Amino acid sequence: MTGSQLPKGYIRAMHYYSGLTLATFVAFHLFNHLMALGGLNRHIEVMHSFRIVYRNPVAESLLLLAVAVQVFSGLRLYARLKKNPMYGFAKLQIWSGLYLSFFFLFHVSAVLYGRTAQHLDTNIYYGIAGLNAFPYLLFFVPYYALAIMAFFAHIAAVHVQKMQRTIFGMPPRKQSVLIIIIGIAFTLTILYTFTNGFKGYTLPKAYKLKPISVIRLSHVKNTAL
Ligand code: HEM
Ligand code: HEM
């Protein structure tokens, strides 16, 4: 049975259950990032304790499978929904999902490439190299900021669909707006922390990105040979 022949309920269930798995990892991942408020060494300490759970062949295969299933099922749902006119949270769900598809593809490939081809420990120095080098940060700041906000926006859109209860006088729509506001505050905190309060970090040599002019010169040298 191909993707297009699978019944809609099946795809939705796939998206829902792999979404729960992935959201659990992402929640721990973002909590780990928040720990950088106590310094990059604190971040690495917490990462080591989390790695005991997710850095083994079984857990990591499950995680990578969840990413693939999430993107595949999300895009199938999008293909079916895109004909309908959509507004507000429904539109936000689609746009955040599409951005998450793009981000997952690059982010996970970058981590796997760093480990296998560059033989680097893909710790926080690897993650923030692009945020602490000009002109790379022009790409990496919006790239990471949109990813974190897309995650919160997607959860907020799911919440407004599923939640029926009013909490502390707040109806579900307002609760979802609050999730988005928390997402924005969280994103700004992470950017602040990962750039040493916007002053920039000096990273260990192995993780430093080459200045663009050096890349261009080495390219000229290579092509001349
Ligand atoms: C961290 C990653 C993601 C999580 C945790 C997540 C989670 C969810 C959940 C729980 C739902 C509600 C499903 C239901 O109604 O039963 C949903 C809906 C949806 N998601 Fe995702 N998702 C993620 C990534 C993606 C991606 C990459 C796409 C790609 C476009 C996407 C597109 C959609 C669409 C279109 C819907 C609406 C489905 C409908 O109303 O029928 N999601 N998502
Ligand atoms: C500032 C933002 C972020 C940074 C600096 C960052 C950095 C990293 C780093 C360094 C790793 C490798 C972890 C390790 O080797 O143990 C990683 C893995 C991962 N990240 Fe992120 N991340 C960010 C945001 C996100 C977001 C928003 C998501 C999802 C919505 C995400 C999803 C993942 C996934 C699924 C992996 C697992 C890849 C694997 O181990 O195979 N990340 N990230």
Burial (CB count <10 Å: 0-12, 13-18, 19+), residue 174: middle
Residue 216 confidence (pLDDT) = 64
Cα 37 from Cα 94, distance rounded (Å)? 32
Q: pTM, whole model, 2 decimals? A: 0.92
135 upstream amide cis, omega within 30 of 0: yes
76 lines ligand 1 (CB under 6 A): no
77 lines ligand 1 (CB under 6 A): yes
Residue 2 confidence (pLDDT) = 42
What do you get for the CA distance between the two ends of the chain, in Å? 52
Q: Give me the residue label for tokens 């997607």.
A: 154
Q: Give me the residue label for tokens 């729509």.
A: 173
What domains does the chain contain, in order, with CATH numbers?
3-208 (1.20.1300.10)
Could you report the average pLDDT of every consecutive run of 10 residues in the chain (225 residues)?
Answer: 58 97 98 97 98 97 98 96 92 98 98 97 98 97 98 98 96 98 98 97 93 66 45
- Write out pLDDT tens, residues 39-92: 999 999 999 999 999 999 999 999 999 999 999 999 999 999 999 989 999 999
Q: Give the pair of three-digit tokens for residue 138.
A: 């022009």
Cα 84 from Cα 171, distance rounded (Å)? 26
122 lines ligand 2 (CB under 6 A): yes
Cα 12 from Cα 126, distance rounded (Å)? 35
51 lines ligand 2 (CB under 6 A): yes
Q: Which ligand is nearest to the CA of 50?
A: 2
Residue 210 confidence (pLDDT) = 83
Cβ neighbours of residue 209 under 8 Å, at least 6 residues apart? 129, 130, 133, 136
Nearest atom within ligand 1 for CA of residue 26 = 1
Taking CA atoms only, the protein residue closest to ligand 1 atom 22 is 19
191 lines ligand 2 (CB under 6 A): no
Residue 215 confidence (pLDDT) = 64
Q: Which ligand is nearest to the CA of 183?
A: 2
Residue 167 confidence (pLDDT) = 97
Q: Give the pair of three-digit tokens for residue 198.
A: 């916007």
Nearest atom within ligand 2 for CA of residue 115 = 15
Cα 45 from Cα 35, distance rounded (Å)? 9
Q: What are phi and psi of 169, to 5 degrees?
A: 75, 5
Cα 97 from Cα 15, distance rounded (Å)? 11
Taking CA atoms only, the protein residue closest to ligand 1 atom 41 is 77
33 lines ligand 1 (CB under 6 A): no
